[in-house]
Amino acid sequence: MKRFGFSLLIQLLASSPLWAMNADETFLHAQAAYQSRNDSQLASDANQLHAQNHVLAAYADYWLMLLKLTSADKATVQSFLSQNSDYSFADKVRAEWLKILGKRQDWPAFFEELPNYKRDDLAVTCYAIEGRAKTGDVIALAEAKALWMSSNDQPSNCNNVFDLMQQSKILTQDDIWARFRLAMQDGKIPLAKTVIQRDGSVGNAQLKQIDSVYQNPQATLDKKTISLKNHLGRALNLYALDRLARSQFDDAMSMWHKMSSHFEEDEQIYMWGRLASHAARRHDASALELYSKVKNTDLDKDELAWKVRAALLAKNWSVVQSTIADMSPTQQEEDVWRYWRGRAYKELRDIPKANAVLVQLARDHTYYGLLAEEELGSVINEKPTNYVPSENEVTAVKNQPAIQRALELDRLGFRWESRAEWAWAVKDFDDKQMLAAAELAMRQNWYDVAINTAEKTKYVHNFALRYPAPYRDTVQNFCKENSLDEAWVYGLTRQESRFVTYAKSGVGASGLMQVMPSTASWVAKKIGLNGYQQHMIHQEDTNIKLGTFYLRYTLDMMSGQAAMATAAYNAGPGRAKKWAPKQPLEGAIYAETIPILETRLYVQKVLANSCFYASRLGTKTQTLKQRLGVISGDGGVIALEDSEK
């Protein structure tokens, strides 16, 4: 059942007496009353829902509480939270209540309720730090440094914490300039202007300079319009150079060589790190030489990562190993750097250290886990053993109240609320309960929920639930028609949409295989799909037909190299060709050095998925390394007609 538009719903139901409505109609009526902020009508609907014993009656109470929360007293809110502690919305109400208490500066009530809050909310976190600082906790403000050093806008109440930090000298001038630089670097200009105003020496005229540099960084450099004799002027010139280096690296390098002597030592160190990272992203051979001008301890997390990638492209395993060793303990423990640390040890012939790292990683059913397993000599060539939940286990999960609410919400068209209830229901499940829940989701054709739930298991797994194969007749038919590996197509579709037919990305890619409308029209014309209209992109057969043809097209453009074709499907053939190596390159290194994070992760996940699907479906089994292949270089890429996905 699709959710009614609220205006239409009100027109249909507002004139109906409550006694004439069935329970579902009353629920929809209550939701419409909430949307129109009609608390008296909502209260009446809530009473009716309870009288009708509707499984979702408490949602009307929840909506009513949200409308009245700002004027509610402590006892009323605590009573509501106690009565509804088993509902997913309880913590949402608690979060809003904590913000109200923080705004009121009612710290005793705030800290009495805070231990019951189980989620993360930056506004709540900032109120907690503010409250601790104002009630005598001397270390609270020091802990807030991590909140300050972000290029994201923080909730407005966090400014109270930052004010206290600045008054206490915990927030220094260096901290202000560091965050300003970070915000500028990420293009967050309004934030940058807000941050730098904490430095009392920056006036309105200088704030206008920030806008002009952002709008035309090259003109700033060419015309030398901003002085290098003050802190802000130098920072803006560095920003202009950084922006220029993204598209015109050689020009930026030339300008930097002419200007560098006018900058202070820490500013020069910063710029060398930025230029080195830009060189690494564009696979420039000068990257490691540029990195050599800066100590690893002066590089940020992202710059260290790209130094490792530059070393991978150069096959300089000593630099790979030493750079990872200089990362923070937290960064070193990321799967990507665990794998490449193990590989570096292996390439440097330190086999005991290599095995010690790779054995631990190989236990994980992930991209890097598969690569680690293959480095150790194992291959996924048999179907993994699956734990199949019993009917009793599935029934037991289905009968849980939160699961019942999730099913009911979905039936009424409240998909987001349904998924929130589901997540709340399974959060404390053990592995077997998790698989029973995944099986239940599969029976509802909630493929995305089944996958996400099955992926949460730690020790007991079911790969048929993690890697479902719906629409198989259609997929097999079009794979055969386009001479494509079925496991690859499933691996890609799983990553694109989790098999949600109505999926639509922020840029418009739609359907199971997330085909862009322009690409769909181009393919439809190419294959003679007469009568094609855009709404057909969400039809299973049509979407798979269009998507598999386009995937075959990208594979041909990339000379049959699956890793490059996968990158092309995500980012467009033009970009994938631009990233082609000049010399033959190990596919795992090619994937690791894709400049766009989304595409890098996409290629890795699609090809890992393909390995699991090949095992699950009993189709052609290849190692992940075989699927990644050896990228043959520019000469092996066929420059066919280009089309962006």
Tens digits of residue pLDDT in 136-185: 999 999 999 999 999 999 999 999 999 999 999 999 999 999 999 999 99
- Rounded to an integer, the average pLDDT of 551-572 is 96
Q: Whose structure tokens read 């014993």?
A: 53
Residue 41 falls within a domain, yes or no? no
What is the span of the domain harbouring residue 630? 472-636
Q: Are residues 621 and 561 in the same domain?
A: yes
- CA 510/CA 529 separation, integer angstroms: 18
Of 378, 409, 443, at which residue does a domain stop?
Answer: 378
pLDDT band for position 203 (cuts 50, 70, 90): confident
- CA 181/CA 183 separation, integer angstroms: 6
Residue 514 falls within a domain, yes or no? yes
- CA 70/CA 82 separation, integer angstroms: 18
Residue 436 falls within a domain, yes or no? yes
User: Does residue 423 carry a pLDDT above 50?
Assistant: yes
Q: Are residues 595 and 547 in the same domain?
A: yes
Here the tokens at position 36 are 């129109």
Q: Are residues 419 and 553 in the same domain?
A: no
User: Does residue 193 carry a pLDDT above 90?
Assistant: yes
Indicate the range of 32-41, 197-206, 403-412 predicted with least confidence: 197-206
Q: Are residues 489 and 609 in the same domain?
A: yes
pLDDT of residue 638: 43
Helix axes 249-259, 265-281, angle to 10 degrees: 160
Q: What percent of the chain has pLDDT over 70?
A: 94
pLDDT of residue 641: 40
The DSSP annotation for 117-139 comes to --S--HHHHHHHHHHHHHTT-TT
What 321-330 contacts at long range (C-beta under 8 Å, 24+ apart), as own/partner pairs, is 321/345, 321/348, 322/296, 323/296, 326/296, 326/297, 327/301, 328/301
User: Does residue 642 carry a pLDDT above 60?
Assistant: no
Q: How far is CA 464 from CA 328, 389, 430, 472, 491, in A?
A: 37, 12, 18, 14, 13
- CA 595/CA 598 separation, integer angstroms: 9
pLDDT, averaged across the chain: 93
Phi then psi dihedrals of residue 71, to 5 deg = -105, 0
Do 565 and 551 meet the contact criterion of CB atoms below 8 Å apart? yes
Q: Are residues 492 and 432 in the same domain?
A: no
Q: Are residues 352 and 446 in the same domain?
A: no
Phi then psi dihedrals of residue 586, to 5 deg = -55, 130
- CA 245/CA 559 separation, integer angstroms: 31
Cα 68 to the chain's mean position, in Å?
34
Do 564 and 545 meet the contact criterion of CB atoms below 8 Å apart? no
Classify residue 585 as exposed, middle or buried by CB count within 10 Å of its CB (0-12, 13-18, 19+): buried
Q: Are residues 613 and 482 in the same domain?
A: yes
pLDDT of residue 3: 46
pLDDT band for position 380 (cuts 50, 70, 90): low
- CA 144/CA 236 separation, integer angstroms: 27
Do 141 and 165 meet the contact criterion of CB atoms below 8 Å apart? yes
* Number of CB atoms found within 10 A of residue 213's CB: 23
pLDDT band for position 386 (cuts 50, 70, 90): confident
- CA 230/CA 238 separation, integer angstroms: 12
User: Does residue 381 carry a pLDDT above 80?
Assistant: no
C-alpha radius of gyration, the chain, whole number: 28
- CA 553/CA 564 separation, integer angstroms: 12
Number of structural domains the chain divides into: 3
Q: Are residues 523 and 616 in the same domain?
A: yes
CATH code (residue 532):
1.10.530.10
Partners of residue 631 on adjacent β-strands:
585
Residue 90 falls within a domain, yes or no? no
- Rounded to an integer, the average pLDDT of 502-509 is 94
User: Does residue 77 carry a pLDDT above 70?
Assistant: yes
pLDDT band for position 557 (cuts 50, 70, 90): very high
- CA 281/CA 600 separation, integer angstroms: 12
- CA 425/CA 147 separation, integer angstroms: 31
pLDDT of residue 15: 52
571 residue type, one letter? A
The closest of 312, 306, 377, 365 to 341, measured between CA atoms, is 312
User: Residue 42: helix, strand or coil by DSSP?
Assistant: helix
Residue 554 falls within a domain, yes or no? yes
Q: What percent of the chain has pLDDT over 90?
A: 90
Tens digits of residue pLDDT in 30-65: 999 999 999 999 999 999 999 999 999 999 999 999
402 residue type, one letter? A
Helix axes 367-375, 335-347, angle to 10 degrees: 20
Q: Would you mind telling me the total number of residues written for the chain in this entry?
A: 645
Q: What is the DSSP letter of 515?
A: B
Residue 555 falls within a domain, yes or no? yes
Q: Is 96 left (phi over 0), alpha (psi -120 to 50) or beta?
A: alpha
Q: Is 199 left (phi over 0), alpha (psi -120 to 50) or beta?
A: beta
Q: Are residues 449 and 576 in the same domain?
A: no
Do 252 and 245 meet the contact criterion of CB atoms below 8 Å apart? yes
Q: Are residues 414 and 486 in the same domain?
A: no
Tens digits of residue pLDDT in 270-296: 999 999 999 999 999 999 999 999 999
Q: Are residues 543 and 504 in the same domain?
A: yes
pLDDT of residue 644: 38
Catalytic residues: 496
Please, which residues have CB within 8 angstroms of residue 506's CB and are 6 or more apart in sequence? none
Query: Which stretch of DSSP H or E encloses residue 63?
Result: helix 57-68
Residue 29 falls within a domain, yes or no? no
Residue 642 falls within a domain, yes or no? no
pLDDT of residue 6: 43
The closest of 261, 224, 262, 255 to 241, measured between CA atoms, is 255
pLDDT of residue 643: 37
| Residue bearing the bigger pLDDT, 378 or 357 | 357
Q: Are residues 589 and 484 in the same domain?
A: yes
CATH code (residue 425):
1.10.1240
- Rounded to an integer, the average pLDDT of 211-234 is 94
The closest of 431, 361, 451 to 389, measured between CA atoms, is 431
- Rounded to an integer, the average pLDDT of 405-432 is 97
- CA 409/CA 421 separation, integer angstroms: 9
pLDDT of residue 17: 57
User: Does residue 238 carry a pLDDT above 90?
Assistant: yes
170 residue type, one letter? I
